[in-house]
Amino acid sequence: MDQSEPSSLLQTCQPVTHAEITEKLLEGGSLKGAVLEAQDDSKAPKYAVFLLPSWRRGYCILHVHWPARPRLYRDLDRLLVLIRFDYGYTGTIALKRASDLSTSKRYWRVKL
């Protein structure tokens, strides 16, 4: 995959902002799944965050509100703290590479 070409997940998922997640979690919503996608195969990739919220259908990509674009993280530790502690998600977090074109759902999984 050409590095300038966005992954299929980036193209197909609807956006969700941190503010919406925080608001919906306070109203009783929950996260049912999380996938972190490395955007390149370097030693220090940026990660896109895909979350499966209870108040929406399907996975959503974490977005910056303005200008509207996917929020990418360089620091995996900081990202795990956000998902685990700020969002209260205790399930399995899948890690995948954007360059992995296989249709397999076998990701490297980290249980927090």
**Share in percent of the chain as helix, strand, coil (round to 5):** 20, 35, 45
pLDDT tens, 37-88? Answer: 999 888 889 999 999 999 999 899 999 887 778 999 999 999 999 999 999 9
Confidence at residue 101, expressed as pLDDT on a 0 to 100 scale: 66
How many C-beta atoms lie closer than 10 Å to residue 12's C-beta?
Answer: 11
**Burial grade of 101 (CB within 10 A; 0-12, 13-18, 19 or more):** exposed
Confidence at residue 69, expressed as pLDDT on a 0 to 100 scale: 87
pLDDT at 3 over 50: no
| Inter-residue contact 98 to 37 (CB < 8 Å) | yes
pLDDT tens, 79-100? Answer: 999 999 999 999 999 998 888 7
Question: How sure is the predictor about 6, in pLDDT bands with cuts at 50, 70 and 90?
Answer: low
Helices (H) and strands (E) in the chain, counts: 3, 8
**Amino acid making up residue 70:** P
